[in-house]
Amino acid sequence: MYPVLSAIGLLAVYALIRIPLNKRRAHDDVQSLPGPASSIASWIWGHELLTFQHAATQMYCVWARSFGGLFKIKGALFHPDIIVATDHAAVHHIFAHSDLYVKSPAFRPPIKNLLGEGLVWSEGEDWHRQRKILSPAFSEGAVKGMTSVIFECAERLETRLTNLILDSKDGASLNIVHYISACTLDIIGAVALSHSFSAQSARTEAHSDAAQISASWADHVNMGLKPISFFVPIIVRAIPAIAKAPLPLMQTQGVCKTIVRRLGQKILEREKVTASVEKSNGDARQEEELPQPKGKDIISILLRSRRLGKDSLSDEQVLDNISTFAMVGHETTAGSLTFTLWELARNPAIQDRLRAEILSCGRDLSYDDIQKLEFLDAVVKEGLRLHPASPQTERLALEDDVIPLSNPVTGIGGAFRIRKGQVIHIPFQAMNTNPQVWGPTAAVFDPSRWLQARDPATFPSGWSGLLTFCDGPRNCIGWRLAVLEFKIILATVVRSIILVDTGVHVEEKISPTLQPVVGDKGGLLPLRLKLV
C-alpha cells in the first residue's frame, strides 16, 4: 500500500516539474519531425500506450509507412518527445557509436532485474572488458565445435515428438513452444555452461533446474502481457528508485534470476574446487603454468581468465553472465524458431520443399552439409527477418550529435541533429519489413526472396541486411550459435515430422521477447504434428 501511495506522490511531483521543463527542452529539431497526431495520444501515456495495446511493433510499422524513417511520438508521463528511427543509415550510425548511444533508462532496470549486470546490461569500459573476455567462446571455430552437441539435443527433440505422435491416433496436438524451449535450454546448458539440464528427459522432476526455469519464465511472460508491464518501465524511466519497489513485475523478473543464479553458484563452486585441487597438485608452478580449464564454453573461458588474472570478472559478474546466457541464450532462439515452424505449418508447399532438400542429403548431416543447404538457409533468414526475438530497443544520446539519413526528411535534409539526452526508439521488426528494402511482399513469409540475385550494396547493414542481431560493436555475441542451432533443429524436426496449422489465431506480443499469444495466454503456439 505505502509503496503505491509513495509512487503516486512522486509521480505528481514529477509531473509538476516535468511539464514546464519539457517546454524549455522542446528543441526545434525534434519539433520539426513528422509524427502521429496528438489527438490519438493519451494525455498521460502519450503514443507509447498505443504501441503496447497493439501487436508487437505494429504501430511503429504503420507510422513508419506514413511518416518515413525518422519521426517523433509523444512520450509517456510527460517525457520529452521520443524519436523513432527506422532509417537504415541513421540506425547504423547509432549502433556504430555504441559509447555515445547507450540503452535507455526504460530498458536497463528490467534487464538488471532479469539478468543482472552481465554483458547485455553493461556499458562503456565494463562492456568492452566483458565482450573481450567472452568473444572467444563464440568464434566461428568454437561454434563449429558445438555441432555434435546441438545435433544430439535436436535428435532428442525429434525422438520426443515422434513418440508423442505414435501415442496419438491422428497426430499430436501440442504447444510447440514448450518442446523447442526445452531443446534450446539443453543446448545452452551443454555448450555454454558445461551443465546438463536434462530439460527434455521424461524423468525431469518438478523441482529440477529446468522445470523451475521454465515455470518462472512462463510466469514472467504472462505477467508481461498485463498492463502493469507497460506502466512499470515507464515509471522507472521517470523515477529510477521505483525499480527497487516490491512490484509484481519486478518480482517475477527477480525469481527468474534467483533460480539461474542458484545454479550458477553450484557451477562456480564446482569449478573452484577443481581449480583448488589442480593448484595443490602443481605447487611449484606459476599460475599461468597450471592446468587450465580446457573447455571452450563460456564458463570455462570466464574461469580461465580469472585464474590467469587477466581482465578477470568478479564472482558476481560471472554469475550474472551465467544468468544472461542461460536465459537469453535459449529463449531468443526458441522464440524465433517457434514462429518459423508456425510459418511452415501455414505454408505446406514451402515446408515440402524444405523437407525434400534436407532428405536429399541423407540423415547423417554434418556441419558442412548444413551450411550447403540453400533453401534451409533461406527459410532460417526469412524466419529471423519476420520474427526477431528482440523486436525493438531504445538508445539514449550522451552527447549532441548529427546522424546521417539514407532518405532525406522533408524540411530537414539528409542529416539530423540529435541533442544530448534524446531517447531514440529503434523497432527492428519494422525495419526488417520495410517495403523500400524488401519490396511490396515485405510482410509475407517468402524464403525464395533469399535465392534471388541481388546487389549486396542494396542491403542495409546488419547480418544478411537484418537488424535481428542488432548491428555495430554491440551486435549479438552469440549470433553464430543461434543460426547454427536454428538450422540444425529445423532440419532435424522437418525431415521426419509434418507440421500442420491448427487454425488458432496467434498474435505477436513483446514480453519481454517476441512471444506467441493465444487469447490472453503467452508462450502458447498450438501445432498438430504427423509423421512423414
- 417, 397 Cβ separation under 8 angstroms: no
Q: Which residue has the cell 552527447?
A: 399
How far is 394 from 104, CA to CA, in rounded Å?
5
Pairing of strands 413-418, 401-409: antiparallel
Give the number of other CB atoms < 10 A from CB of residue 269: 10
- 178, 516 Cβ separation under 8 angstroms: no
How many residues in the chain?
532
How far is 321 from 388, CA to CA, in rounded Å?
22
Q: Is 61 annotated as a binding residue?
A: no
DSSP assignments along 463-478, one per residue? GGG--TT--GGGS-TT
Instruction: For residue 180, give the DSSP letter.
Output: H
Burial class (CB in 10 A: 0-12, 13-18, 19+), 10: middle
Maximum separation of any 2 CA atoms in the chain, in Å: 76
- 116, 319 Cβ separation under 8 angstroms: yes
Angle, CA of 324, 217 and 267, to the nearest 5°: 45
- 73, 36 Cβ separation under 8 angstroms: yes
Instruction: For residue 170, give the DSSP letter.
Output: S
The helix/strand/coil state of 453 is: coil
The partner residues of 175 in beta bridges, in order of sequence, read: 526
How far is 199 from 221, CA to CA, in rounded Å?
19
Comparing CA positions, the residue from 375, 377, 388, 393 lying closest to residue 336 is 388
Comparing CA positions, the residue from 173, 223, 312, 271 lying closest to residue 509 is 223
Angle, CA of 329, 330 and 333, to the nearest 5°: 95
Binding-site residues from annotation = 476
Binding-site residues from annotation for heme = 476
